[in-house]
C-alpha cells in the first residue's frame, strides 16, 4: 500500500478520544466541543472525560491534587539536573522515568486496566511540579510544594511564580491547559501510541511523546511569538515589520497551520483569556494580529493563512505571569494528559503498530 510522505491524511487507527476538523476550525474531546470545554471546565473535569469517558457528575471526578507531590529522590534529581541543563523537557523525561522506577510501574502488557489508569494519573499529575521546580531552581529560587487543595492550573501557576494566583490569571492558564490537551494524531501522540503498542510502560510511552515534542517542527516556540509582538511594539508598526521579514524570507511566528483553514479555535479561546485580563500587551496583540493577517492576505491572496495557537498562547500565558521559558514545558503539562488517554486506549487495543517501508536503496545482489 502506497501512502503519502509523513502519512499525511492517512487514518492509522480508530479512536474515541477526539478529532480535528481543520476546514471548519473545530476540534473535540470525545463528543464535546473542546474550545467550549476550555471556557467552562477545569483540567480535572477534562482529565475525567478523557480517562473515564464522561464528565462529572456523570462519573466520579478525578482529582489530580493528591498525585502532584514528588518522591524525595525525584525532587533531588530535578535539583541536580537544574544545575547543568535548562532543557525542561529533558528534566521531565528523566524525572518521570525515576518516578515510575521508584514506584514500581510495570509494562502495560503486564498490568490490568485499573493499574494502567493509576499509573497514567500519577504521571500526568507530577509534570507541573517537575516543571515548576526545575524553573525555580534554575533561577536560584526556593521550590514551592504542590497544594492539593488548589485546582491543577492554579497550583501550577503558584508553584512556578511563588505567588497565590489572581483568579483571572489562573483561569487563563486553565484555558490554555484544557485547550491544548489533545489535537488529533499529531507526531507526539502517534509516537506515544506506537510505544504503548509494544506493551511498554505508561512512563516509557509518555517519555517517547516528550521526545517527539522536543522537535522544533512539532512543539513550536510560543516564546518567539511573544518576542515578535514586543519587537513590533504597536499595530502601526506591524506592516512594515512583516514586509521586512517576508522580503528576507523569514517566517512570521504564530501564523499558519498545517491543519486549520479556518481560525484556530484554540487561539480564539486564548485571545478571550488575554482580553479578560486586559492591559497594554493584550490590546497591542489584537491590533498587531489584524495587521499581520491583512498583510499576509495581500502577500498570498490565494491562500488562507490563520493565526495559530502559538500567538495567543504566548500572550495569554505571558499576561498570566508565566515566563517565556515555561511556555513550551507548559505545553507538555497539558499534552501529557492527552497522550495518557491515547496510551490507555492503545494498551486496551493490544496490537503492535508495525508499518512497512519502501526500500529505495541500491538493489541487493
What residues are labeled active site? 257, 310
Burial class of residue 8 (count of CB atoms within 10 Å of its CB; 0-12, 13-18, 19+): exposed
C-alpha cell at 94: 528523566
The radius of gyration computed from the CA coordinates of the chain, to the nearest angstrom, equals 21
Q: How far apart are CA 347 and CA 365, in angstroms?
A: 41
What pairs with residue 20 in β-bridges?
Answer: 27
Q: Give the start-end residues of each E strand in the chain.
A: 18-21, 26-29, 32-33
Query: Distance (Å, rounded) from C-alpha 200 to C-alpha 80?
Result: 27
Using CA atoms, how far residue 262 sits from 35, 110, 287, in Å, is 14, 44, 19
| The total number of residues written for the chain in this structure | 365
Instruction: Count Cβ atoms within 10 A of the Cβ of residue 247 and give its class: 0-12 exposed, 13-18 middle, 19 or more buried.
Output: exposed
Cβ contact 167:264 at 8 Å = no
List the Cα angle 245/262/241 in 5-degree steps.
15
337/177 Cα distance (integer angstroms): 9
SS3 state of residue 29: strand
Amino acid at each position: 500500500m502506497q501512502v503519502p510522505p509523513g502519512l499525511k491524511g492517512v487514518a492509522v487507527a480508530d479512536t474515541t478520544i477526539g478529532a480535528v476538523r481543520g476546514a471548519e476550525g473545530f476540534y473535540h474531546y470525545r463528543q464535546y466541543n473542546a474550545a467550549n470545554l476550555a471556557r467552562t471546565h477545569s483540567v480535572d473535569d477534562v482529565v475525567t472525560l478523557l480517562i473515564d469517558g464522561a464528565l462529572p457528575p456523570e462519573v466520579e471526578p478525578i482529582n489530580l491534587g493528591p498525585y502532584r507531590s514528588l518522591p524525595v529522590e525525584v525532587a533531588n534529581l530535578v535539583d541536580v539536573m537544574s544545575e547543568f541543563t535548562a532543557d525542561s523537557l529533558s528534566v521531565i523525561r528523566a524525572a518521570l522515568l525515576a518516578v515510575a522506577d521508584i514506584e514500581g510501574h510495570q509494562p502495560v502488557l503486564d498490568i490490568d486496566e485499573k493499574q494502567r489508569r493509576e499509573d497514567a494519573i500519577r504521571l500526568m499529575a507530577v509534570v507541573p511540579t517537575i516543571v515548576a521546580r526545575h524553573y525555580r531552581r534554575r533561577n536560584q529560587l526556593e521550590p514551592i510544594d504542590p497544594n492539593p487543595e488548589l485546582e491543577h492550573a492554579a497550583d501550577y501557576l503558584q508553584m512556578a511564580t511563588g505567588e497565590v494566583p489572581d483568579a483571572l490569571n489562573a483561569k487563563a492558564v486553565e484555558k490554555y491547559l484544557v485547550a491544548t490537551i489533545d489535537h488529533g494524531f499529531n507526531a507526539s501522540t502517534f509516537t506515544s501510541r506506537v510505544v504503548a503498542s509494544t506493551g511498554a510502560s505508561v512512563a516509557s510511552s509518555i517519555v517517547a511523546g516528550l521526545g517527539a515534542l522536543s522537535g522544533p517542527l512539532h512543539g513550536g516556540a510560543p516564546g518567539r511569538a511573544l518576542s515578535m509582538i514586543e519587537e513590533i511594539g504597536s499595530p502601526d508598526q506591524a506592516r512594515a515589520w512583516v514586509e521586512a521579514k517576508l522580503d528576507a524570507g523569514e517566517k512570521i511566528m504564530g501564523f499558519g497551520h498545517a491543519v486549520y483553514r479556518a481560525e484556530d479555535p484554540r487561539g480564539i479561546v486564548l485571545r478571550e483569556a488575554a482580553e479578560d485580563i486586559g492591559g497594554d500587551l493584550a490590546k497591542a496583540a489584537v491590533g498587531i494580529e489584524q495587521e499581520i493577517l491583512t498583510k499576509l492576505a495581500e502577500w498570498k491572496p490565494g491562500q488562507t493563512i490563520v493565526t495559530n495557537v502559538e500567538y495567543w498562547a504566548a500572550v495569554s500565558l505571558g499576561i498570566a505571569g508565566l515566563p517565556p521559558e515555561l511556555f513550551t514545558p507548559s505545553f507538555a503539562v497539558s499534552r501529557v494528559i492527552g497522550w495518557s488517554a491515547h496510551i490507555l486506549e492503545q494498551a486496551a487495543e493490544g496490537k503492535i503498530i508495525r508499518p512497512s517501508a519502501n526500500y529505495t536503496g541500491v538493489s541487493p545482489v
